[in-house]
Chain A
Amino acid sequence: MLMPPFHLHHPSTIEEACELAAGFLETKESFDWVAGGTDLLPNYKWHINVKQHVISLARVQGIDTISMHEIGAMARLGSIASSRDVHPLIAQAAGKVASSLIRNNATLGGNICLDTRCFWFNQSEDWRRSIDWCHKEDCGTGSDCRVIPNQNTLCVATYQGDVAPSLMVLEGLLHIIGPKGERQIPVDEFFQLDGITRNVLEEGEFILKVTFPEGVENRVGSYKKLRVRESWDFPEAGVAASWIEGDLSSLRIASTALESIPRLHQQEIDKLDGGFSTDKILQLSYAMMKSIKPVNNTALPPRYRKSMVKVLAKRCLQEILGDGE
């Protein structure tokens, strides 16, 4: 399928990238950022939300650091997966993304900013015309949501990034830059409903890097991914958890691929009577499951995906907590 035409820009510094973005904002020309291109370009090939300009971050120097406390947005998932310097949980999660070919190109920043997915949306133009478009890409028709008909206020497309929940449970901090300057935000506050809004990034902003607090190296974590095939597939459900060994109060657990944004489940931990303890693994897993409402827009039915949250959370917790303290 032929990709529609666009102008590609190759800034070599962060400043240059910000200037380009500021320029387009001023002239009101539409643009996209592209990092590895493994998410954006397939959508472009399907003629989904194509912009006039694409700014590539591939030549921007110095934003591909890979270390325990800092990972650059342009670090390739393949390099992260095979790195001995990053936290093992990040390496584990990055290694489960798509296939090795895609990981060689895909980046951490791209994975965090992954567009939400929906089987009414990720389709060719001819196909979407046959359903008369959808709310997320209405082609100016004001179309309804096809997943939950008769509501065109909320997009329920599913966020299917693999790495975000692991960043959340390791207390990752996102460094964002744009024409208005730099700012920082915890990963668990980065994502924002709905499936169209996706996150707090404002126009012209992009992610620079993720940093982790001192002591992150003491955290033990695990990521469980539900998928049909051991390669290629996006997660149908995913749960990541981590704790500092011996300190039950440090437990963090997050889920992905179930709703329009990934979520840290601090609330469910806090609601447990007397805080979390190892005999409450099933209780916490059940509470997480209860809090999640998937919709029917991925390969597996929502009821099943919801039920699997319990299993994944249980397995995650049992793995990191072992037989007790």
Chain B
Amino acid sequence: MAGGYRQQPGASSGGTRKDGKRVAGKQKFPPPGSGGSHPNMGPRDLDSIPESVGGKEPQPAGSHIHDRYRTGTEVGKPRALVDSYAKVTGQAWYGDDVRLQNEIIGKILRSPYHYAKIKSIDTSKVEALPGVLAVATGADAPNTFGVLPVTKDEHAMAVEKVRHVGDLVACVAAVDEATAMEALNLFEIEWEVLDPVFDPRKGLEDQDEPIHWRGKYHVGTTNVQKRVFQEFGDRSLVVDPTASSHGKWRMEGVHHGFTEPHAVVAHWDPNGRLQLYTPQQVPHYAHRALSTVLEVPMHQINVIRTFVGGGFGGKSDPFPHEMCAAILSRKAGRPVRITFSREEVYWINRGRHPSYIEVKMTADDEARISGFDIDALIDGGGFASFGHVTSYYNGVLATAPYELGSFHYTGARVWTNKPASGAMRGHGAVNTRCAVEVGLDEMAEQMQVDPIDLRLANLLPPHSRTISGFRITSNGMRQALERVREGSDWDKKFRQLPLGKGIGIGCGFFISGSGLPIHWDPNRFPHATVHIQIDMDGGVTVHTGAADIGQGSTTAVAQVVSEVLALPIEMIHVRSHESDTSPVDLGSYSSRVTFMNANAAIRAALDIREKLLNAAWEMLGYHPDVLVLNDRRIYYKHDPAVGVSYLEALHKAQEDKGSLISSGAYRSPPMGGVHKGAAAGLAPAYSFSAYIAEVDVDVETGLVSCTNVWAAHDCGKALNPLAVEGQIIGSCHMGLGQVLSEKMVYGRTGHLQNPNLLEYKIPSVHEMPHVTPIIIESSDPEGPFGAKEAGEGPLLPILPAVVNAVYDAIGVRIRTLPLSMDVVWKAISSKTRSLGGIEATELPSPRLEHSLLQQTLAERGAQHRERDRRRQRSEDTSAYVNGVLFGFDPDRPLEDQVEGWKSAVEPVPEQLAELGLAGKAWLKKEQRQMGGDK
């Protein structure tokens, strides 16, 4: 394939600096499948899988770079997760299952105040209590840490002040839990209580005592932690729209609700090395933070990831209690275990941000989406956590799958005196996605067209570039929409159901692995590394740092190794728990693990494969090109009788080097634009999904029950269809919780009123609809065997699908989440009042009569369908950038074609007056601009 897809129109030259370094954003898009500098794989123009291992497999999305290495052993077969046996027999060891000899119990003293200065802590009575072996306070660990290097604002325990009820003040370790609890009452602390802030809107104003201080970068004296402004495209297109939607949303914070509470065991071994057992999604960042806080080099710390009883983003920060356990253990000289109660889990939080989101959308006379204006004010709670990224994701992850005329985003994340928000499944994308998809539904209604046809006629094709510069490779969006439409019998139901019954559509778009690692320049380290070792017994030991949090990453790695080496999966043993033995992996976040880690595993396996084939070549005399691996045997392609067993080849290969050892790595290719924030949302591939939900609404009580969901998700290639379906169904459950019942309730006094699983309403099995998972395989050119993520993206569409279905059922648009029964009832009540006090049972159901535009859309959709098919199969490799739908030439810079084509990351002064809620954060200057730098 010639050239590859272009990253920026007209930027074919000037991509290299004088010193030979590449300039980000000035590159050609590398051919997909070329991640890293030395891809250890052949070209992609292979015709098919050899007939000897399964015949000519149909390849609807074209051939794949890994096709040659398919052996038909594991990939694509439904397989119970390899660690499921340990789990179902109760032998999996979670954080609190770790029992070391001589262990003592640690407990944490937590702040009873929302916001207060600690004037003094007297620990003498605690220390005097018999049975207490160690006490620690903030003074023992003054170094800050945080998951993002740019926002390290956490301490192991409060230094100077506490920032929310439940914030860590001190900790104690004692011979048993009862003694430790008793000791907590003996701390004598002098407080100076400060005025707390709970409402993020208040956080935008100047304060006497901001919750954190960022020095010269601090925005005024406000509590703004991060503000974002982005503007792209031709803003003149939004003038005089044919349809428009303007919605103001209020979304409550939600928590991951994982089963296993946080637990940690720390132990300094006889050599003085720290052994830390913790259920972490991201052991590597915890490793780094521990090193900083404890002032011990990383090589003197061994982070042991236990089994993780659910994470969903809630176990991806380095946590203060991990530091506490290590500090206590160092002081006491004995292993220390700390296990959280459920309240403590809610206090450490890191759940989805409570958000105020405003979305303005416009469509032109051809029903093209001429503008997205998004304003997102998100409530970060007491600490930054992943918030820097969340602030971007709320906007930039809405720039696809639709082709936009223009895009405008203002976002702000504000500190408040509440438990810290952070990353949660669908990080940052979920709330705006819901708002945007509901806006599309509203515009479709105004234009009297079918919302599915509106979407089908506005999709970006495969191998294209979004308005903000993301590289889209494979794209199964169209197929997903078509499949759910067919499966749900949409055309016979939409706007035709009786009052109280409704059907709605929603789409999703999510990253498959963050393109830039948080902690290093991509030119320095790979994102994922996998080591493989085979000794004479033939068993394959795979070392990976990928954290299996139940999503099945261990299984995925085992499967791809098994596939490449044509060995049964029982022969593959994955070791992934200890940082001492596993190569660095960045961890389980941003849906990166299967994509990056399995790619690394394939490369390591290919290395082994080559060694085996070379050995077989020596023994058989046939060149590896004509040798086939299949079920523990290597044989001549045209005469399977001529061959050697796997063990024979292995022993030959081991003759003079012993164990076969290989290392494989993956890093994403350079991508993206050059503007500030261009890296946020960049990914080597993106997943797409479309859901249709059916609901029943009790119009008298407002109770919404979701009855059916048709859920199509494009995961590239289902390495393990069973696991993908599990992720889709699980995502539906989690998303339904957010849209129907879950919320973190902060009461009149700012206290979290429901920090327990009885009052935090996670849907039960009774609330679960029938979900029909539909797997779309678009064969991503860069993914392992074509795979993309399936862990987070599937959550996104369920929210708007349900909200749109509720509208279809009762004709009332509700923009407050969750749609709990009281919220829906209130909306129905005000609607019935506005209609002259009719009974709820007399509400008119919305109906649809197609306008002339419907025909235009159907025709355009049909043309695009053919366009997408050709691009997906690489029959058409011409450049495509967002804007072609509006008549622009993809081969010339857009700035040259349109006067006023925007590409701005800061507002101009004239804009300041019109900015939305979060945009108000731009009204203040940074300290350095004001001459202050305290």
Q: Residues of A with Cβ closer than 8 Å to B?
A: 1-2, 5, 119, 123-124, 126-127, 129-131, 146, 226, 228-234, 299-301, 304, 307-308, 311
Contacts and interface: CB of A to CB of B under 8 A. Distances in A.
B821 A304 contact: yes
B761 A233 contact: yes
A304 B826 contact: yes
B764 A231 contact: yes
A126 B112 contact: yes
A146 to B, nearest CB: 8
Interface in B745-773: 747, 749, 751, 753-756, 758-759, 761, 763-767
Nearest to B753: A119
A282 B412 CA distance: 50
Contacts of A232: 758, 764
Given A2-B177, A299-B761, A300-B821, A229 B767 contact: yes
Contact of B764 (A127, A131, A230): A230
15 contacts: A119-B759, A123-B343, A123-B755, A123-B756, A129-B112, A130-B111, A130-B112, A146-B749, A228-B820, A230-B766, A231-B766, A232-B758, A299-B761, A301-B822, A304-B826
A127 B741 contact: no
A2 B182 CA distance: 11
Interface string B143-165: 00000000000000000000001
Which 9 A-B pairs have CB atoms at the shortest separation, nearest pair first? A230-B766, A304-B822, A130-B112, A231-B764, A130-B165, A1-B341, A124-B343, A229-B764, A2-B177
A285 to B, nearest CB: 11
Contacts of B825: 304, 307
B761 A226 contact: no
A126 B110 contact: yes
A234 B758 CA distance: 9
B701 interface: yes
B178 interface: yes
A229 B701 contact: no
A127 B343 contact: yes
B7 to A, nearest CB: 49
A76 B768 CA distance: 28
Contacts of B755: 123-124, 127
Interface string B69-111: 0000000000000000000000000000000000000000011
Given A2-B177, A127-B343, A127-B751, A230 B767 contact: yes
A123 B346 CA distance: 13
B185 to A, nearest CB: 10
A199 B763 CA distance: 34
Contacts of A304: 821-822, 825-826
Interface string B713-748: 000000000000000000000000000010000010
B766 A229 contact: yes
Contacts of B753: 119
A308 B764 contact: no
A304 B822 CA distance: 6
Given A229-B761, A229-B764, 20 more contacts: A2-B177, A123-B343, A123-B755, A123-B756, A124-B343, A126-B166, A127-B343, A127-B755, A129-B112, A130-B113, A130-B751, A131-B749, A146-B749, A232-B758, A232-B764, A234-B758, A299-B754, A299-B759, A301-B822, A304-B826
A interface: dominant SS: loop
Interface of B: 110-113, 165-166, 177-178, 181, 341, 343, 700-701, 741, 747, 749, 751, 753-756, 758-759, 761, 763-767, 820-822, 825-826
A228 B821 contact: yes
A300 B701 contact: no
Contacts of B165: 127, 130
A123 B758 CA distance: 11
Contacts of A131: 749, 751
A226 B825 CA distance: 13
Contacts of A299: 754, 759, 761
Nearest to B109: A126
A129 B758 CA distance: 21
Given A130-B113, A300-B821, A2 B754 contact: no
Given A2-B177, A300-B821, A311-B701, A228 B166 contact: no
B174 to A, nearest CB: 12
Nearest to B747: A119
A311 B181 CA distance: 48
Nearest to B740: A228
Contacts of B766: 229-231
Given A126-B112, A131-B749, A231 B341 contact: no
A229 B755 CA distance: 17
Given A2-B178, A229-B761, A311-B700, A124 B341 contact: yes
Most buried by A among B701, B754, B765, B767: B701
A26 B309 CA distance: 50
Contacts of A129: 112
Given A2-B177, A229-B766, A300 B113 contact: no
B519 to A, nearest CB: 34
Contacts of A230: 764, 766-767
A214 to B, nearest CB: 37
Nearest to B111: A130
Given A127-B751, A131-B749, A304-B822, A228 B112 contact: no
Nearest to B184: A126
A308 B341 contact: no
A231 B343 contact: no
B701 A226 contact: yes
B341 A228 contact: no
Contact of B181 (A2, A130, A229): A2
Contacts of A5: 178
B130 to A, nearest CB: 17
Contacts of A226: 701, 821
A30 B771 CA distance: 53
A234 B754 CA distance: 14
Nearest to B759: A299
Nearest to A298: B759
A2 B761 CA distance: 24
Nearest to B165: A130
Nearest to A230: B766
Most buried by B among A126, A231, A311: A126
B196 to A, nearest CB: 12
A228 B177 CA distance: 36
Contacts of A311: 700-701
A307 B829 CA distance: 11
Contacts of B763: 229
A229 B741 contact: yes
B248 to A, nearest CB: 21
Nearest to B762: A229
A193 to B, nearest CB: 24
A260 to B, nearest CB: 19
A13 B869 CA distance: 80
Nearest to A42: B758
B139 to A, nearest CB: 22
A182 B177 CA distance: 43
B925 to A, nearest CB: 36
Nearest to B829: A307
Contacts of A301: 822
A325 to B, nearest CB: 24
B188 to A, nearest CB: 15
Contacts of A308: 701
A300 B343 contact: no
Nearest to B741: A228
B172 to A, nearest CB: 14
Contacts of A130: 111-113, 165-166, 751
